[in-house]
Structure 1
């Protein structure tokens, strides 16, 4: 299909796919003439994109027009819808229009329904940080792609460090590849501990401070993370993942389940030996308290995505979370 709609929060994965589209459809000698990226700030960009995609490519190869941060599948005025109806059915097979957005397309809109007839839709969502088995599998595939060999424990440590940040994963793998150049032996935890900065581990320590209700320690750790330029949304993702895992373990324990492998499967924990540590973590906190923390964390995530003051909202929510864990 000559029309492509990519959506999701994994912007790095989308950028990689865009590179593949460029390699697939453009002739390198004519790419500067046939590849156009339009500014999302320009209100006329959607019309320009439709006009460009109808222009035959120069020289050899095809044409690729990219409209990033597109809102066509979230809101579409009648004038633009009319242009879409007129243009989409007649786009040539060697001209490609790419629409990307972090937001999920609204299936109710006429524009989305129209695009469904002519476009390839692909989702690029981030894997939830608590789905460790999927993250480990993705890290193995990425390591193979980059060309670096890691031990099983090495892969697990790398995932613990980078979480679900795809861009950071590839950056760290590239660093490890350069380090291991000429060495056929898989890299183990000792090397990864030296080369890969584990800010996720610091976020997990923040989660522990919140769980114990230690407000002062939690705020100091939060300040350290912010001073280290750790992205606030990544901090929140780690907190949500950890509190969700604690809740699953606590609920399974309260239900009378004692099989650690069954608990690990329910909580999506890749290494079932972690269950013993998690069981000790949740002994002094109730399921009711853990459940009460999740809406606060989700509200924090929404507030950050809406552009509210990062430091202020993080500090406020950390204090609220500590109070919940204190039983207040």
Structure 2
């Protein structure tokens, strides 16, 4: 028996990690019986998944039960907590539970403490747009895994054009590999920016740029960026998660500033900013913002997340939220 809890806004890496587990644990011939994915939006859905996980696997291989988009580490009723505890006692050795969430677990609640005790917890978060060095390393790593050689300016091009979107990076690099293999006698020759520009759209944007446009109250620019993100198949929930992270960080920095805190390390710790040197830039970003409006913005983002998870029209609810957020940052 093994339990996993994967969380973060890099949905692609989470999905790929779960797929890797499936390949390792499940016999393909028995996959229909031993593999289950549940969109864990309610207690009943999660309890049904627990019951499935407690059943011994059929035939060869192990059983894997995936509870996707779970909120069990943010809120958990007493009845659901009791079912989780019961499941831990009866889970067969060859049965594995995987929980995935875009939201950081709340370490204060009992269910999270239980998961932290018994599950392998791993974070999969997108690299911030400002951390170009880390994004460049990500490009290098994925290019190596895909067998694509890149020049320095080729790497820089992809950092600017694609950013930290690991799903799109894989797709673009696979496309570039096909180009290289089919058009060059020496397929190992590194691809430069000029060659890459033939197939990769340089005008791509990411959710961090959308957050910046919203912070500046640029309604038209924000809606344009949103449209481009959606046209590039960016998941609405991932856009919402990135915006929530950014606004939460801005709120923490603003509140601490207003309280008179001047120690950048203390602000970085409270706001969960990995590099204290970034606090200076966050201070500049929140100068014109008001704490009460940032609090309202998080409420808007919570409603957005709920709407997306309930199946509302993705484009409509995102556009409405973006306009509301721009209105708050302008006042």
TM-score, with normalisation over the residues of structure 1? 0.70
More off after superposition, 16-25 vs 41-50: 41-50
On the 8 A contact 2:68/2:100 being kept in 1, the answer is yes
- Map of 1:306-317 to 2, 5 A cutoff? 306-307=303-304, 309-315=317-323
* SS class of match (1:55): coil
On the 8 A contact 1:150/1:186 being kept in 2, the answer is yes
In structure 2, relative to structure 1, the CA distance for the partners of 1:266 and 1:82 (3 Å cut) is closer
The reply to whether residue 147 of structure 1 matches residue 143 of structure 2 is no
In structure 2, relative to structure 1, the CA distance for the partners of 1:185 and 1:52 (3 Å cut) is same
On the 8 A contact 1:199/1:225 being kept in 2, the answer is no
In structure 2, relative to structure 1, the CA distance for the partners of 1:292 and 1:299 (3 Å cut) is farther
Which residue in 2 is equivalent to 1:112? Answer: 112
Give the deviation of 1:206 after TM superposition: 8.9
In structure 2, relative to structure 1, the CA distance for the partners of 1:267 and 1:120 (3 Å cut) is closer
Q: What whole-Å deviation, never above 9, does each CA across 1:208-254 have from its counterpart, x for those lacking one?
A: 9999x9x9xx65544544454456849x87xx7xxx9xxxxxxxxxx
- Give the distance between the partners of 1:101 and 1:68, measured in 2 at CA: 7
Give the deviation of 1:316 after TM superposition: 6.2
* SS class of match (1:66): strand
- Could you tell me which of 285, 292, 295 is aligned with 2:288? 292
Q: What whole-Å deviation, never above 9, does each CA across 1:155-175 have from its counterpart, x for those lacking one?
A: 111011112222222121121
On the 8 A contact 2:135/2:159 being kept in 1, the answer is yes
The reply to whether residue 195 of structure 1 matches residue 199 of structure 2 is yes
Q: What whole-Å deviation, never above 9, does each CA across 1:132-157 have from its counterpart, x for those lacking one?
A: 11111111111111221111211111
Give the deviation of 1:292 after TM superposition: 2.6
- Map of 1:77-92 to 2, 5 A cutoff? 77-92=77-92
Q: Root-mean-square deviation (CA), in Å?
A: 3.8
Give ranges in structure 1 of 5+ residues lacking alignment: 245-264, 269-286
In structure 2, relative to structure 1, the CA distance for the partners of 1:209 and 1:85 (3 Å cut) is closer
The reply to whether residue 46 of structure 1 matches residue 46 of structure 2 is yes
- Map of 1:1-328 to 2, 5 A cutoff? 2-41=2-41, 43-182=43-182, 183-200=187-204, 221-222=221-222, 224-228=224-228, 229=230, 233=239, 291-292=287-288, 303-304=300-301, 306-307=303-304, 309-315=317-323
Which residue in 2 is equivalent to 1:277? Answer: none
On the 8 A contact 1:143/1:150 being kept in 2, the answer is yes
On the 8 A contact 1:300/1:314 being kept in 2, the answer is no
- Give the distance between the partners of 1:137 and 1:185, measured in 2 at CA: 20
On the 8 A contact 1:89/1:118 being kept in 2, the answer is no
More off after superposition, 54-63 vs 161-170: 161-170
Give the deviation of 1:24 after TM superposition: 0.8
Give the deviation of 1:122 after TM superposition: 0.9
On the 8 A contact 2:4/2:119 being kept in 1, the answer is yes
In structure 2, relative to structure 1, the CA distance for the partners of 1:210 and 1:89 (3 Å cut) is closer
Structure 1 residue ranges, 4+ long, deviating more than 3 angstroms after superposition = 199-211, 218-234, 265-268, 287-291, 293-306, 308-321
Q: What whole-Å deviation, never above 9, does each CA across 1:281-300 have from its counterpart, x for those lacking one?
A: xxxxxx86773369789976
| Number of residues of Structure 1 aligned to a counterpart in Structure 2 | 277
Give the deviation of 1:74 after TM superposition: 1.5
- Give the distance between the partners of 1:202 and 1:35, measured in 2 at CA: 34
- Choose 1 or 2 for highest CA Rg: 1
On the 8 A contact 2:26/2:62 being kept in 1, the answer is yes
Give the deviation of 1:199 after TM superposition: 3.2
- Give the distance between the partners of 1:302 and 1:127, measured in 2 at CA: 25
In structure 2, relative to structure 1, the CA distance for the partners of 1:44 and 1:185 (3 Å cut) is same
On the 8 A contact 1:22/1:64 being kept in 2, the answer is yes
Give the deviation of 1:311 after TM superposition: 3.3
TM-score, with normalisation over the residues of structure 2? 0.70
